Structure 1
Amino acid sequence: MARFCTLFSGSSGNSTYIAASDSAVLVDAGRSCKQLLAAMESRGIEPRSIGAVLVTHEHTDHVSGLRVLLKKLGVPLYATPEVLERLRWDGVLVPGQEAHPVAAGERMTVGSLVIDSFDTPHDSAHSVGYRVETPDGRRLAVATDMGYISDSVAQMLRGCDLVMLESNYEPGMLSACDYPYYLKRRIASNTGHLSNEVCAQELIELVRTGSTRFVLGHLSQNSNTPENAYQASYCALTAGGMREGIDFTLTVASRSGPSEMVVL
């Protein structure tokens, strides 16, 4: 049995819970420790069950609660060497904290979970996504914060039972919002974020290669809405002849709190 739950997902903070029956990890800790613990409690997640925190990259919306949470849970941290160095420099990773460097493409284990990391093209020290396999063969992936879907990312997502994929912005809303021009260019660049349309097209390929459960994540607060993200993917999938509830399920991760627990 596998379990998946986004605790927070969006431009204001990200954290995702992935578990098997006897092991669990958090991917990112981008809200305060107090908020993360409250989110876990609301979904019946026992903090002592968490075996590690995996960090995708060092941006604030992924690590703002990390230092306090690691101290509270007493668990190891996994991240790329570049990100670990940046976290040390910023005072997030304190002396004595157990930390393990992760090379993109490397396989590791946390309890009974087998975890693969993969590069994601993003303007950070080094950004990665994670694919987690449970003992019963379920595969779940978190793939956010990337300007485009590279061949290597696509390969890692193929055949996963559940994929959380970034659906960050709607181009018209991004163009019209009050972000400064340089920030709009950054978001829409090849090292920025995925638009609703790019995300939607990738979901079609994922259904064709065996994936069925999708969570749209990391939505922008200023240049997207849950309705826009959902409709872009739903319309693309149904236009491709795919049926909701039969060929796929589609949900949008909550920005402000935990989404419903998905049990596979």
Structure 2
Amino acid sequence: MEIFVLASGSKGNMTYVKENNFTFFIDAGITYSKMVAKMKAYGEDEQNVHTLFLTHEHQDHIAGLKTLLKQGQIKEVFLTKGTYQALSNEIKELLPQIYIIKADEDFFVKDMKVTPIMLSHDAFEPVGFIFINKEQKKVVLLTDTGYVDQSYIEPISDADLYILESNHDPKKLLNSSRPFSLKQRILGVTGHLSNDDAASIINKAVKSKKAVWIVAHISDDCNDIFDIEKAIVEHIDDPLKIEVLYASQESLAGIKIWKLKLLE
């Protein structure tokens, strides 16, 4: 299984997964041209991708969706009923075969087992995902949530890779020039995970084997790598049990490190 983070953050989110002959996108929050350029930089052809999973309808997750659908290569889209209903009529008319999914209800696409995870975000029915291939390699994608229910710790435990958000440092957020209403939204239960929240989740979830954590959806002005690493040291019992990478909106020159092969 190969994971390619094409973009992550408030300006756009999109991930590409390659599992033998099965490839798919998760979200489409960047422009089509930017997506094509990043796929080309990885040596990948977007025309070979026929499946799309959507986490929710916020613009930073669907900004490039209309143009992507117009290209015609996407043949199936997996999304919740709430996400579908929240899409514009223009996008709905472009959708190919759709599959309505529900949190906590497993399904298979090819040989990939997929489990949607219920999130707490100010969208209509947002979900994260657990992907498990036939070799039992496990990937958890979990962003855009104000908290993670404790009932999900066991299902997400001992994954090979986590794409988990660590959005903000609360002190920096509160001291920022952002409107107070926005600060309340981000800090609330339907907002985003703080560094402390994310590190605590990783500490509980990573148990019997080392994992890779791609830190996602990092705030540009209310967070930095130092703050995230400080939270890791404070909240993770054994920081050596994780390899940490940082996702961003960076230019093509910096994206090759996001190609992660889970072949062991």
1:14/1:95 Cα in 2 relative to 1: closer, same or farther (>3 Å)? Answer: closer
The corresponding residue for 2:213 is: 214
Three-state SS of the structure 2 residue aligned to 1:168 is: coil
User: 1:96, 1:232 → 2: CA distance?
Assistant: 41
1:105/1:68 Cα in 2 relative to 1: closer, same or farther (>3 Å)? Answer: same
User: 2:210, 2:18 → 1: CA distance?
Assistant: 19
The corresponding residue for 2:18 is: 19
User: 2:84, 2:95 → 1: CA distance?
Assistant: 13
User: 2:135, 2:57 → 1: CA distance?
Assistant: 32
User: 1:96, 1:124 → 2: CA distance?
Assistant: 20
1:256/1:155 Cα in 2 relative to 1: closer, same or farther (>3 Å)? Answer: same
TM-score normalised to the size of structure 2? 0.91
The corresponding residue for 1:79 is: 79
If asked which structure has higher relative contact order (CA below 8 Å, sep 6+), I would say 1
1:80/1:175 Cα in 2 relative to 1: closer, same or farther (>3 Å)? Answer: same
Does the Cα contact within 8 Å between 1:9 and 1:256 map onto a contact in 2?
no
1:96/1:32 Cα in 2 relative to 1: closer, same or farther (>3 Å)? Answer: closer
- Compute the displacement of 1:45 (Å): 1.9
The corresponding residue for 2:238 is: 241
The corresponding residue for 1:191 is: 190
**Which region of structure 1 is more displaced relative to structure 2, 174-183 or 69-78?**
69-78
User: 2:247, 2:74 → 1: CA distance?
Assistant: 27
The corresponding residue for 1:253 is: 247
The corresponding residue for 2:135 is: 136
Give 1:1-264 correspondences, 5 Å limit: 2-72=1-71, 73-89=73-89, 91-95=90-94, 97-210=96-209, 212-234=211-233, 236-237=235-236, 240-243=237-240, 247-257=241-251, 258=255, 259-264=257-262
Alignment: residue pair count: 257
- Compute the displacement of 1:232 (Å): 2.4
Three-state SS of the structure 2 residue aligned to 1:255 is: coil
Does the Cα contact within 8 Å between 2:70 and 2:94 map onto a contact in 1?
no
User: 2:49, 2:94 → 1: CA distance?
Assistant: 21
- Compute the displacement of 1:182 (Å): 0.6
Overall identity of the aligned pairs, in %: 26
Three-state SS of the structure 2 residue aligned to 1:199 is: helix
- Compute the displacement of 1:18 (Å): 1.8
User: 2:54, 2:222 → 1: CA distance?
Assistant: 25
- Per-residue CA deviation, residues 117-137 of structure 1 (Å, 9 max, x unaligned), is 110111111110011112211
Does the Cα contact within 8 Å between 1:56 and 1:127 map onto a contact in 2?
yes
Three-state SS of the structure 2 residue aligned to 1:124 is: coil
**Which region of structure 1 is more displaced relative to structure 2, 227-236 or 119-128?**
227-236
TM-score normalised to the size of structure 1? 0.91
- Compute the displacement of 1:52 (Å): 0.9
Q: Which amino acid aligns with 1:229?
A: I
1:152/1:37 Cα in 2 relative to 1: closer, same or farther (>3 Å)? Answer: farther
- Compute the displacement of 1:156 (Å): 2.7
Does the Cα contact within 8 Å between 1:230 and 1:250 map onto a contact in 2?
no
Three-state SS of the structure 1 residue aligned to 2:184 is: helix
Three-state SS of the structure 1 residue aligned to 2:92 is: coil
- Compute the displacement of 1:40 (Å): 1.1
User: Pairwise CA RMSD of aligned residues?
Assistant: 1.8
- Per-residue CA deviation, residues 127-163 of structure 1 (Å, 9 max, x unaligned), is 1001111221101010001101112332331121111
- Per-residue CA deviation, residues 183-218 of structure 1 (Å, 9 max, x unaligned), is 100000011000001111111112225451111101
User: 1:124, 1:11 → 2: CA distance?
Assistant: 15
- Compute the displacement of 1:85 (Å): 1.2
User: 2:235, 2:76 → 1: CA distance?
Assistant: 40
Q: Which amino acid aligns with 1:190?
A: V
User: 1:38, 1:145 → 2: CA distance?
Assistant: 25
Q: Which runs of 4+ in 1 moved over 6 A?
A: none
1:241/1:163 Cα in 2 relative to 1: closer, same or farther (>3 Å)? Answer: closer
